[in-house]
Amino acid sequence: MCGIIGYVGHNLCIPKIIHGLENLEYRGYDSAGIAYVLNNKTKIIKEKGKISNLKKLLDFDTTTNLGIAHTRWATHGEANKINAHPHSLGKFTIVHNGIIENYSKLKQELENNGYVFKSETDTEVACALLDEIYKQEKDILKALNKVTKIFRGSYAFGIICSDDPNAIYALRCTSPLIVANSPDGNFIASDVPAILKYTNKYILLDDFDIAKLTKDNIIIYDEFLHETKKKVNTFSGTFESAAKNGYEHFMLKEIHEQDKVFKDTINFYFDGTIESLKKNFSFLKKYNKIDIVACGSAYHTGLVGKSLIENYVNIPVNVEVASEYRYKRCFYDYNTLVILVSQSGETADTLAALRKAKNDGITTMAIVNVVGSSIAREADHVIYIKAGCEIAVATTKAYLAQLAIFSLLTIYLGYQNKTISENELNIILDDLKKMPKLINDTIKNYNSYFNIADKIYKNKQIFFIGRGIDYALSMEGSLKLKEISYINSVAYQAGELKHGTISLITKNTPVIAIATDTKLIEKTISNIKETKARGAYVIYVSNEEPSEKFYDELIKIHKVHPILQSILTIVPLQLLAYKVAKNNGCDIDQPRNLAKSVTVE
């Protein structure tokens, strides 16, 4: 989603800011803009589309050393130049991530007071309100503090006030914002990659903190306007980890990193002994009902988690999409645990679901990738996956690492509950050791999946079917395909197809059928035959050699213990989606309309 960077220091700001903005491109955006101060005057330049369009309008040698910039992912008003950030009204120029929910009422009041708006954005309303309050308070900090009492919603602001042209102000509520000091100046940013070239040390602002940055100083005030000291964090990833390393796309690079990500994630919690799992997960023992809440792919991980925990631990698991969960009536009992799954740790609906559970006095645990993100900080327990920086909008390695965590939790809880025997445990652990190599072998087989993609990429719709855990994987396979290739794709429980959807199957409609659960394979094969009889082009994904030929293409994957199987099965589906999208000339790493981190409701 939207990205923010600002710099004030001893060097020219435009090159630094544009570099930082480019490192935020992966979040997804549809316009970009910059405001800088030159001879005490604020100048705004913005443009629709990619940052490259904005760059054409900029003189990189402009002698300005203070600026703020933004990549916008449209929420209020269409994606055009007028609605692009920064916005300016009165004495204030602002870049903004998030949504001010009560902006419409505020806008009316401000219009009545004489403010005239050019854009449809909530951000321009924020400029006007700040300006109005500043006129009364005559103090920037007090005005900033006062607007926090009026705005409802989420915001991270980078702000320039024309009465103080040597400072950048920053303010946040819910949407993340960091400040950072580098040898030649100070930064604000929505995300670490924006500043990583200049420093890996940063401070995460808390809600309602206000930061004032000048070229030699960063002062942070808490919500009572008292100066406050904050912990300085160190980002341990490298800048190179955010580069493509010779791969054509970040998505392809990230798919190829999955064996390492699996190993890093498992090794962090498990040293080969049950003792290590006990040390990390023993707090889970007392819960006998679990709600898993997440969005998109993370929700699909939760569906796999449900299947594993219910089958191997014997406790009920409810999986919900966060945007529904946050508004529904929940039936918790005393020993309910709510697990939030989120790569970014900033997804607005998942964060709201977490807060709802906490408000209701329920223990929460988050499975998160981004260290220090809001969800990680607010959950009672955090389990970090070790996926590293994920740049492609479509998640792959984070999804796989989330599956790895659910496998580990299942192994631990199943063993503790004695629903997994010592004997079975040994079989699982044997397979666990082999997994990095098997993941790697599955990736290396990419040419065979690519050949299949070459045969189906022109189709207008592609179906996925499966039963049980394979249905959960079908949903992820289908999402991966449609989000990056724009081909309509639906995932169905294999047995449900004939209750309506099968009418859409005609000659050569691709049906990707996943069957890895031995006890359900025969049933799924019957459903596959039903589609075949209607002309479907069947791509059969299984870990067992079929005894008859009811398919057109076979993707044979290695068979491992069911607790680990999904981690292998998803890999060909990711690569299939990738190649279908590539053949269609799609913008794979930044699919249209999508954002990496969905910080609005």
* Binding-site ranges for ligand F6R (CB under 6 A): 295-298, 342-344, 347, 350, 394-395, 479, 483, 597-598
Closest to ligand F6R by CB, 370 or 525: 370
Comparing CA positions, the residue from 308, 303, 297 lying closest to residue 318 is 303
Number of Cβ within a 10 Å radius of residue 187: 26
Rounded to whole angstroms, the Cα distance separating 513 from 521 reads: 10
Rounded to whole angstroms, the Cα distance separating 53 from 21 reads: 13
Shortest Cβ distance from residue 402 to ligand F6R (Å)? 8
Which residue do the tokens 């999804």 mark? 399
Count of positions (residues) in the chain: 601
Which residue do the tokens 């392809």 mark? 252
Shortest Cβ distance from residue 485 to ligand F6R (Å)? 12
Closest to ligand F6R by CB, 45 or 405: 405
Number of Cβ within a 10 Å radius of residue 227: 9
Closest to ligand F6R by CB, 2 or 528: 2
Closest to ligand F6R by CB, 296 or 562: 296
Q: Which amino acid is at 582?
A: K
Shortest Cβ distance from residue 453 to ligand F6R (Å)? 18
User: Cα-atom radius of gyration of the chain, to the nearest Å?
Assistant: 25
Closest to ligand F6R by CB, 220 or 341: 341
CA dihedral over 428, 429, 433, 436, signed as positive or negative: positive
Closest to ligand F6R by CB, 194 or 505: 194
Structure tokens at 203: 């401070």
**β-pair type (233-234, 201-204):** antiparallel
Shortest Cβ distance from residue 346 to ligand F6R (Å)? 7
Closest to ligand F6R by CB, 170 or 385: 385
Does a cis peptide bond (omega within 30 degrees of 0) precede residue 86?
Answer: yes
Structure tokens at 8: 């004030």
List, by residue number, the catalytic residues: 2, 596
372 conformational bin, left if phi > 0, alpha if psi -120 to 50, beta if neither: left
The tally of CA atoms less than 13 A away on the side-chain side of residue 24 is 32
Shortest Cβ distance from residue 269 to ligand F6R (Å)? 19
Shortest Cβ distance from residue 396 to ligand F6R (Å)? 8
Comparing CA positions, the residue from 297, 277, 359, 304 lying closest to residue 326 is 359
Structure tokens at 286: 């007392």
CB 127 within 8 A of CB 35: no
Shortest Cβ distance from residue 295 to ligand F6R (Å)? 4
Which residue do the tokens 């910039």 mark? 69
